[in-house]
Structure 1
């Protein structure tokens, strides 16, 4: 049943990471009166990281959640209308564009900025889902504390996996790190840090067969893909760090995407294939995926939206 509750806004921003909040800061200053819905994870992926050392302007580093609080406060001070709620359906067939929030509230917007980010991928094992929250996690920084002084495993080979393995190494007795190939994707500096850490044990050419345990994680069974040999390692925690997928599902009927679901934007802009709909941050960036590049693209989206609304005589 479609609801009657509807509201007309000038500029709607969907998502609340660096891209969404930066778009809100710029759109507010341009007097676009943006309304921002924070989505399921206010602050985005940075709320599940600890130390951010590579964002300019923080010489001593900053905690990810703190940085997102700063972003939100700045957007609010500029006049952005920041709300809790999740966009669940869209209709981009005609202006003004329709976006449903939490299934029951209809927002009509002249311009839409999509900054919905990306979410962690899982291995797809039945045992992984069954024990999720019972020793299995996709966020070492959120849950590592519970495994202080215990043995844990992590699967992944990129910067995030390396970062999380290092984080866990400070809390846990041993970190068993499973890498699918015979090399890591992580940057050289991160690889070196991991390999220099005595209590991180790296297993190359390794796939995870099953997480073992009835009510909680007790062990993991792995297989060497070269030799076919399997072994079972007792662990209390199992962390998945194998990458992300863009949160773009509700837009798939309307926007052009690549095979992985990242929204395609016109090179050098935030413009999608539908005029007046813009995409910023990790939902459209599978290459860089940094807080600073997300913030930069959020700025671009707000400027693109301002220009679009001006040209349409809506601003």
Structure 2
């Protein structure tokens, strides 16, 4: 006699089958270089360069910068290296590994990859006057599969969507690796590599081939209009009632702790740099208390109120980037004067 599954039995069997398929998919091997090639921000590319800098370029990394486009377009590696040399007589190698958009989970993924590949002496992590409550939407594209699965589910609006996308990501990268058809190049091409510096403080190269010149100066009136438009959309520090307020930044706080632990386990130090928006106040004590983080390097000061240093409401222009890079280099030389190797010749930039 034919036996039929009960509705409950069918659901159990379906669940087991899906679990088997999911488990099989997420362990599919792939070329991790292809994974980094699969990412772009929608307007620019950088993740593939990050992988190339970490794995194909023998140049060491003494200081790794991790953050958003504020840091990516606001801190010059060349200025930092030259001015640190001028101040200390020591040579350091700096890599700006910042990627556009906010999300501490992606910062953790980049820091983990960097610690594994290069073991820098110091990680500098960006802090802002506001903190995103959301994870980075590209975490599922760049993170190790295990980090996607073990990400915190509580107060993480992307957890289940990331989990659902993971098998597809793994299968796609597996096929790309088999057929050697990634987004950019099947293997590292030295002629295409930008070199140890990825400088976007002067110009920004877009995916469509256009180049945005950042050597612009806006009037105070224009900058104030941009600031007002930004503040109109700014959420308050806390949206939840006081008894639940610590939950708002739980995800960021957890990943900041993971970054500190991973950096420490690799033998590196970790420090925070405050990068404000235009007209932003000093690093806000209430937010920093929520994050349990304190900036070692404050890159605000008088520059935050000077409209001639800003490209838009949140990003420095070329002159502002030089101001911020000089400020960071002097603070770095004062607080960490023993990085790198003794003996250097200050270069121009």
Kindly indicate whether structure 1 or structure 2 has the higher relative contact order, using CA contacts under 8 Å at least 6 residues apart: 2
TM-score by length of 1: 0.30
Greater strand fraction, Structure 1 or Structure 2: 1
TM-score by length of 2: 0.27
Greater helix fraction, Structure 1 or Structure 2: 2
